[in-house]
Amino acid sequence: MSSNASMHGLWQSRWLFILAATGSAVGLGNIWKFPYITGENGGGAFVLVYLLCISIIGIPVMIAEVSLGRMGRQSPINTMKALAQKAGASPLWSSIGWMGAIAGFLILSFYSVIAGWALSYTLDMASGNFVNISAENSGKIFGDLLANPTQLTIWHTAFMILTLGVVARGVNAGLEKAIKVLMPVLFILLFILFGYALSSSGFGQGFSFMFDFDFSKLTTESIMVALGHAFFTLSLGLGAIMAYGAYMPADTSIAKTIIIVAFLDTAVAIMAGLAIFPIVFANGLEPSAGPGLLFQTLPIAFGQMSGGVIFGTMFFVLVSFAAWSSAISLAEPIVAWFVEKFKMSRTLAAVIIGFSAWLLGLATVFSFNIWSDVKMFDKTVFDLLDFLTTNIMLPLGGLLIAIFVGWKMSETKMMNEVGIDYPILFKLWRFTLRFLAPIAIIAVLVNGLI
Residues 94-133 contacting ligand PHE, CB under 6 A:
107
CB closer to ligand PHE out of 222 and 235? 235
Query: What is the smallest separation between the CB atom of 404 and ligand PHE, expressed in angstroms?
Result: 19
Three-class secondary structure of residue 14 per DSSP: helix
Which x/- pattern, by CB under 6 A, does the window 250-279 give for ligand PHE?
------------------------------
User: Apex CA 65: angle with CA 61 and CA 69, to 5°?
Assistant: 170
CB closer to ligand PHE out of 200 and 235? 235
User: Apex CA 331: angle with CA 110 and CA 52, to 5°?
Assistant: 70
CB closer to ligand PHE out of 43 and 398? 398
Q: Among residues 20, 22, 29, 398, which is the contact residue for ligand PHE, using CB under 6 A?
A: 29
Query: What is the smallest separation between the CB atom of 24 and ligand PHE, expressed in angstroms?
Result: 5
Q: What pairs with residue 376 in β-bridges? A: 379
Cα–Cα distance for residue pair 210/45, rounded to 1 Å = 8
Query: What is the smallest separation between the CB atom of 60 and ligand PHE, expressed in angstroms?
Result: 17
Cα–Cα distance for residue pair 350/332, rounded to 1 Å = 9
Read off the DSSP letter of residue 252: S
Q: CB under 8 Å to 158, separation ≥6 — which residues?
A: 116, 119
145 near ligand PHE, rule: CB under 6 A: no
Residue from 74, 105, 97 nearest 353 by CA: 105
CB closer to ligand PHE out of 24 and 74? 24
Which x/- pattern, by CB under 6 A, does the window 301-340 give for ligand PHE?
-------------------------x--xx----------
Cα–Cα distance for residue pair 54/49, rounded to 1 Å = 9
Please identify the residue of the shown chain whose CB is closest to the bound ligand PHE.
Answer: 29
Compute how many residues bind ligand PHE; rule: CB under 6 A: 15
Read off the DSSP letter of residue 92: G
164 near ligand PHE, rule: CB under 6 A: no
CB closer to ligand PHE out of 230 and 301? 230
27 near ligand PHE, rule: CB under 6 A: yes
367 near ligand PHE, rule: CB under 6 A: no
Three-class secondary structure of residue 379 per DSSP: strand
Query: What is the smallest separation between the CB atom of 425 and ligand PHE, expressed in angstroms?
Result: 26
Count Cβ atoms within 10 A of the Cβ of residue 170 and give its class: 0-12 exposed, 13-18 middle, 19 or more buried: middle
Q: CB under 8 Å to 257, separation ≥6 — which residues?
A: 14, 17, 18, 21, 66
Query: What is the smallest separation between the CB atom of 355 and ligand PHE, expressed in angstroms?
Result: 20
CB closer to ligand PHE out of 18 and 330? 330
Residue from 412, 439, 368 nearest 147 by CA: 368
Residues 410-429 contacting ligand PHE, CB under 6 A:
none
Residues in the chain: 450
CB closer to ligand PHE out of 146 and 330? 330
160 near ligand PHE, rule: CB under 6 A: no
CB 297 within 8 A of CB 285: yes
Query: What is the smallest separation between the CB atom of 191 and ligand PHE, expressed in angstroms?
Result: 20
CB closer to ligand PHE out of 72 and 202? 72
Annotate 332-346 with DSSP letters as a single string. Answer: HHHHHHHHHHH---H
Annotate 214-237 with DSSP letters as a single string. Answer: -GGG--HHHHHHHHHHHHHHTT-S
Residues 184-243 contacting ligand PHE, CB under 6 A:
232-233, 235, 238, 240
CB closer to ligand PHE out of 122 and 138? 122
CB 39 within 8 A of CB 273: no
Query: Which stretches of the chain bind ligand PHE, using CB under 6 A?
Result: 24-25, 27-30, 107, 232-233, 235, 238, 240, 326, 329-330
